[in-house]
Structure 1
Amino acid sequence: MPEESKFLAVGIDLGTTYSCIAYVDSYGKPVVVKNCEGGSTTPSVVQLSHDPNEIVVGTVAKGEKANLPGELIVEFVKRSMGKENWKHMVDGREYRAEEISAYILKKMVKDAAEQIGPITQAVITCPAYFGINEREATAQAGTLAGLQGYILDAATGIRKCNIIPEPTAAAFYYGLAKARDNETVMVYDLGGGTFDVTLLEVTKEAVNALCIGGDHELGGKDWDDLMANYVLDCARESGIDSEAVYSDSMALGDLMLRVEEAKKILTAKEKATVNFTFGKLARVEISRQKFDELTAPKLDRTILLCRDMLKEAAGLGYTAFDRILLVGGSTRMPQVRRRLEAEFPGIPIEFNEPDEAVAKGAALFAQKLMVDEQVQREIDTIFQRTGRSAEAGKSLEEVKEANPEVVREAMKNTAARFSLPTQQVEMIAGREVGDITSKSFGIQAYNAQDRLTVANLIRKNAKLPASVTQSFFTRADSQASAELTIMESKLLDEEIELVQAQEISKAVLPLPSGLPAGSPIEITFDLDRSGLLKFRGCEITSNNLIEGEIQTTAKISEAEATMALQRVNAANVS
């Protein structure tokens, strides 16, 4: 077991189709850890069984798609994270997306631990376009898998799994390892099941997200589906009943494995052949040109999302960018680079280790969290030891300005504690990673025309943490209470229609009797870096107050979480 395993900085790219785990070695370099099958990535496929304690994850589970009924194979679960009504049933047992994802995490952690030592903490990535529900579900999956985060919540005493957007993780890795000068980069992240496009500012001091776009139900799977449809259309000429194939989960699973392999061949060759048997043999040849033609609408959709994001960015004052970074395995398709070159002529396009960059960036971010916390602790210790206890608690930035020698000593001590080069600590400590919100958050309220709409308080692309207070007013005399219906949407506007947003929580503020119409009520929204939204409502004259954290209806219940945790802990995951 490596000596540094006690202080492992681990990052996990929890992907729709493939997942990857990395750690930072004793030289300060992020390294991907291969699974027990020898692969750098693990298929995000879970094979359940009639015995709830026997779970298979990864390559073996994926291969069983052609041999087992559909109810025993679960894949693409990332697209269902945070969805209240998604449940997978086996023998009367209900599995939520969080539990299925926990099995994937447990498999990766188990394989990695055999090589680098026990793993108890990790940073997990998610699409930039994930909202509160999806981020909370991702963190819950980490908890179910036995993982903690790197930041201690003073209020709860819990180190909840840290979540970082995938493009930010990739750009953080790029910024530390490859950035030439200060750059504004567009990260085009086309994974197996999700698409993100993010504009980021990458400097030696910071990686700051500027604007986000995307669709977490658009990815390489959709390219596979279109090719499969084409193959089945052609297979009809061989007498194969395509409708029967769609109804047979094992036959369809076999076809999808062959289609994915053909798609990979088309990244390097002009033609590929799909041999498929369903009672009869069908041999379908497909050219890269035909594949590109079939899938052009999906590629066009990614370009439209890029345009939309850049239009929003221009409204925020960001009108140009220097480079495009390609992230996600699906960016290997030649059509992607070709289409981007046509859309953005003259802009350099760079592959950023599409399968590994996100996990490596997450590992580096984990190291940053560890280092920042330890440097702060060392600074406080130095101040107390030298009789300056009153200065303990100052931020790193404050101390850098007034007492640079204290910071140098703290970094040296931190490097020694983690067995890292001092230069690595100096490079990463205090480096800013600025995130923004991918959604807008508001409340239902009557507008000036007395029409019920959504008033957005925190708007999409706001820098995190964000805090906004806005005054609203009672609508009627002697109103008994004010209902705070909290809404989430993808729109930037200050006011939007109810149908354009989704209700995520509700609270009721009691009001004192006799209040006249038009009495002020102050509403405050606080959105932290992890995506946790807190709200506060205050009736000014009586100082009546209601506050709380958003507890969405989509969140896994306490009873479900307890049952899931028992199963995950008991399961033999291989």
Structure 2
Amino acid sequence: MSGHILILFVSVLVAVSAVLSALGFKGRVEVIGVDLGTTYSVAAVSEKGRVRVFEDPVRGKLTASTVAFLQDGGVLVGNAAKRHALKDPKNVIYDAKRFIGRKYDDPTVAEQAKKYAFAVVENTTTHDAAFRVHGRTIAPAEVGAEVVKALLKTVNEDLGHENVKRAVIAVPASFGAAQTAATGEAFKAAGLRVARVMPEPVAAAVAYGLHKKENVHHILVFDFGGGTLDVSILYVQKGSIEVVANGGDNDLGGTDFDGCIADDLTKQVNAVASSTDCDDFVTTEPCEPHVLQQLAEEMKVQVSSVDTVQRKCAARTKKGCEELELTLTKQRFEKTCAHLFQRALKTVDDTLTNGMLTKKDVDEVVLVGGTSRVPHMRELLRKSIGVSKLNLEIDPDVTVAVGAASILD
């Protein structure tokens, strides 16, 4: 009799599991991997040995690390916040990762603050760098917390439960204790406990399984994101990975290429326009600096896959208010921004030198960050290092999150 009961119980359990699976139940995942990036943020999960990146129905896999603080106390996160910046740039914060965990009197804070429309101020209690929005002082960790909350909301909706309470997080190899702690505070404020902290380059190498690959000793991780360039040299031994050299350029990222293109677009506008005071067109934005910056970002992405990109903005010329057609070719992009490409290559050379290594010591190269997908940058790097191929099969925007989630296996 007991045998029949056991068989019946197992049959019922299998049937229930099948029903739950059909309903989309994915199990009680409690830990996720998160990359809280300078420009974009990503969350991923490991399910039965396979890593999956969470995808929001609206934002997609990437959530812009941009937060708009509204007058009524509400917030907008992601692309909605970026759109809000067009009409209220002083109360929309982005690139908060550049300031997190830094004291206000840090020389880099004053230098970075010059780049933004929002106000960078001192938290009079902690003396840390902070932001002023609608008369309130907002810490960089609070900005990060809003981004993590948005990611967690997508995670909960995807999994069908709210059991996720911990996260494996990745931070730049250059982060000190204060910056890492402040990043942890952002997750805590969003309702997640930090289960483990990984250096971002290590997470990237783990994503490709290079720590398990034979005859691999030195890995160069080229992390070219929206706000910074980080170059790390990893040493692999018996499955463990150690960061042996780290370099970077905190003032070089995708936004700098956007700025380079925006400067070129500005020259095109100034060549024929006397003023950007032009609101005759309903659907065409005026050629204001913030509009050109946004157009530059869009054109940079598109010119990676086509030879010529064109956009329009409105300005006042001798003929009156007109729609101007702005053009960017692949060749013009590579020539105009050549100095930025060379700065990136010099950072690689300097990092190898500081680690007392040569390019011949590099066994594998891993690409991370959205700017690393620029074809010209990839080819320049490949030729400079002298490798036959680069590790680029994983979307460079999600590689770090994939690695953070992979460690959960």
TM-score bucket of the superposed structures, by smaller chain: 0.7 to 0.9
**Counterpart residue identity of residue 107, structure 1:** A
* Count of aligned pairs: 348
Instruction: Give the greater-gyration-radius structure (CA).
Output: 1
Is the aligned partner of 1:321 residue 2:399? no
Question: Separation in 2 of the partners of 1:37 and 1:327?
Answer: 24
What is the CA-CA distance between 1:127 and the residue it aligns to? 1.9
**Counterpart residue identity of residue 35, structure 1:** D
What is the CA-CA distance between 1:65 and the residue it aligns to? 2.6
Is the aligned partner of 1:217 residue 2:251? yes
Counterpart pick for 1:81 among 80, 100, 103? 100
8 Å CA contact 1:173–1:364 kept in 2: the answer is: yes
Question: Separation in 1 of the partners of 2:71 and 2:219?
Answer: 48
What is the CA-CA distance between 1:91 and the residue it aligns to? 2.4
Alignment of 1:372-521 (within 5 A): none
What is the CA-CA distance between 1:174 and the residue it aligns to? 1.2
8 Å CA contact 2:359–2:386 kept in 1: the answer is: no
1:168-220 CA deviation, whole Å, 9 max, x = no partner?
11111112698465342211110111111111134662222221111233211
8 Å CA contact 1:167–1:198 kept in 2: the answer is: yes
8 Å CA contact 1:188–1:324 kept in 2: the answer is: yes
Q: Could you say which residue in structure 2 is the equivalent of 1:393? A: none
Question: Separation in 1 of the partners of 2:202 and 2:404?
Answer: 9
1:365-388 CA deviation, whole Å, 9 max, x = no partner?
3x2xxxxxxxxxxxxxxxxxxxxx
Counterpart pick for 1:4 among 27, 30, 51? 27
**Counterpart residue identity of residue 102, structure 2:** K
Unaligned runs of 5+ in 1: 151-161, 368-423, 425-574
Counterpart pick for 1:334 among 360, 369, 375? 375
Q: Could you say which residue in structure 2 is the equivalent of 1:232? A: 266
Q: Could you say which residue in structure 1 is the equivalent of 2:352? A: 310
Q: Could you say which residue in structure 2 is the equivalent of 1:196? A: 230
TM-score, L = length of structure 2: 0.78
Question: Separation in 1 of the partners of 2:380 and 2:62?
Answer: 27
**Counterpart residue identity of residue 50, structure 1:** Q
Counterpart pick for 2:329 among 287, 297, 308? 287
Task: Flag the 1:208–1:129 CA change in 2: closer, same or farther, 3 A.
Answer: same
8 Å CA contact 1:322–1:348 kept in 2: the answer is: no
Question: Separation in 2 of the partners of 1:327 and 1:141?
Answer: 23
8 Å CA contact 1:188–1:327 kept in 2: the answer is: yes
Task: Flag the 1:294–1:2 CA change in 2: closer, same or farther, 3 A.
Answer: same
Task: Flag the 1:346–1:84 CA change in 2: closer, same or farther, 3 A.
Answer: closer
Q: Could you say which residue in structure 2 is the equivalent of 1:171? A: 205
Task: Flag the 1:10–1:250 CA change in 2: closer, same or farther, 3 A.
Answer: farther
Task: Flag the 1:73–1:101 CA change in 2: closer, same or farther, 3 A.
Answer: same
Q: Could you say which residue in structure 1 is the equivalent of 2:168? A: 123
**Counterpart residue identity of residue 99, structure 1:** E
Is the aligned partner of 1:96 residue 2:133? no
TM-score, L = length of structure 1: 0.57
Counterpart pick for 2:189 among 122, 127, 144? 144
Q: Could you say which residue in structure 2 is the equivalent of 1:466? A: none
8 Å CA contact 2:247–2:347 kept in 1: the answer is: yes
Counterpart pick for 2:41 among 19, 28, 33? 19
Q: Could you say which residue in structure 2 is the equivalent of 1:357? A: 399
Give the structure, 1 or 2, with the largest relative contact order (CA under 8 Å, sep 6 or more).
2
8 Å CA contact 1:70–1:250 kept in 2: the answer is: no
Question: Separation in 2 of the partners of 1:276 and 1:135?
Answer: 42
* Identical pairs, percent: 29
8 Å CA contact 1:125–1:166 kept in 2: the answer is: yes
1:407-459 CA deviation, whole Å, 9 max, x = no partner?
xxxxxxxxxxxxxxxxx5xxxxxxxxxxxxxxxxxxxxxxxxxxxxxxxxxxx
Q: Could you say which residue in structure 1 is the equivalent of 2:117? A: none
Q: Could you say which residue in structure 2 is the equivalent of 1:264? A: 301
1:16-40 CA deviation, whole Å, 9 max, x = no partner?
1111110111x12111001241501
1:343-385 CA deviation, whole Å, 9 max, x = no partner?
12244322143011100111123x2xxxxxxxxxxxxxxxxxx
Query: Secondary structure in 1 aligned to 2:55?
Result: coil
Q: Could you say which residue in structure 2 is the equivalent of 1:59? A: 79
8 Å CA contact 1:127–1:166 kept in 2: the answer is: yes
Query: Secondary structure in 1 aligned to 2:267?
Result: helix
Question: Separation in 2 of the partners of 1:254 and 1:11?
Answer: 34
What is the CA-CA distance between 1:140 and the residue it aligns to? 1.6
